[in-house]
Amino acid sequence: MSTENDLSQSFGARLATKMREAGPVCVGIDPHPNLLAAWDLPDSAQGLEKFGMTVLEAVGEQAAAFKPQSAFFERHGAKGVAALETILQEAKSAGFLTILDVKRGDIGSTMSAYAESFLTPGAPSEADAITLSPYLGLGSLAPAHELAVKHGKGLFVLALTSNPEGASVQHSQNAQGQAVARMIAEGVAQWNQPAREAGLMGSFGLVVGATIGSAAQDLGLDLGAVNGPMLAPGVGAQGAGGAELSQVFGHDLSLVLASSSRGILKGGPTLAGLQAAFADTLAEVKQAVGC
């Protein structure tokens, strides 16, 4: 059923509610071979499924969202993708929000096909939101944006990533001195204008690494003007905590959805261990964002 005209049921509105009620932490489901070994699970489709289901069971009611990393499942071929589908469907049945980390980016009918794979209700790999790469031009993502609007889904567009190589593209400027990352942020802000007019958080956010320091300010990005969620990977194992979040997002911390994978997953395989690691992460993030 289309939710195009009901912004109160859109991904942004639902995520904002979860962030207020549960706290602004997204848990990555990244079944890295080293983590599987530490959990005494086989590096197989069965191991991946057990890994993901354990994470959902441990912190499902406490997390704002879950972010499975598609690549770790895809490397096992069709059986690995089937495990991912099972995890996504279990999360949906339980009422948990999912952000599928696929970082797709293409043009025309190919972009449409990617969008249909993940954003169509009832699709085997359906998620509430996906990550996208805009480096064929933000306009190339129009098919995904249109489908997300139609079905009340969300998109997270790569803007300022924490890998050193990202700066060579994201920080580069056009003839008017405007950084690529700033152009992306301003384009996504336009996508969220209807939600802004309705007084809601938009469904279209940015991926902004929690370890980028002052880059957003240095490049002139107005993150608050985007009016969408800021997915901030790097919390925990990559070294970012409350101080880093405050430096990166400044006055816009209310939009931050802090993403932690290894920092929480290292607490497994026991439910109690995962819950304790999640609680530590949540407490630090809440302190940083003032909630």
Give the Cα separation of 63 and 66 in Å (integer).
7
Q: What CA–CA distance (Å, rounded) separates 28 from 48? A: 13
Q: What's residue 152's pLDDT?
A: 97
The model's pTM: 0.94
Q: What is the CATH number of domain 7-289?
A: 3.20.20.70
Say if CB 18 and CB 65 are below 8 A apart.
yes
The pLDDT value given to residue 240? 65
Distance CA(179)–CA(189), nearest Å, equals 15
233: tokens are 């990977």
Mean pLDDT of all residues in 126-144: 97
pLDDT(46) > 50: yes
What DSSP state is assigned to residue 40? T
Give percent above pLDDT 70 in the chain: 96
Please state the φ and ψ torsions of residue 212, each to the nearest 5 degrees: -90, 0
Catalytic-residue membership of 153: no
Q: pLDDT tens digits for 219-236?
A: 999 999 999 999 998 775
- Does the pLDDT at position 291 exceed 80? no
Percent above pLDDT 90 for the chain: 80
The torsion of the CA quartet 263, 265, 269, 271, rounded to 10 degrees, works out to 90
Q: Which residue in the list 92, 103, 150, 286 is annotated as catalytic?
A: 103
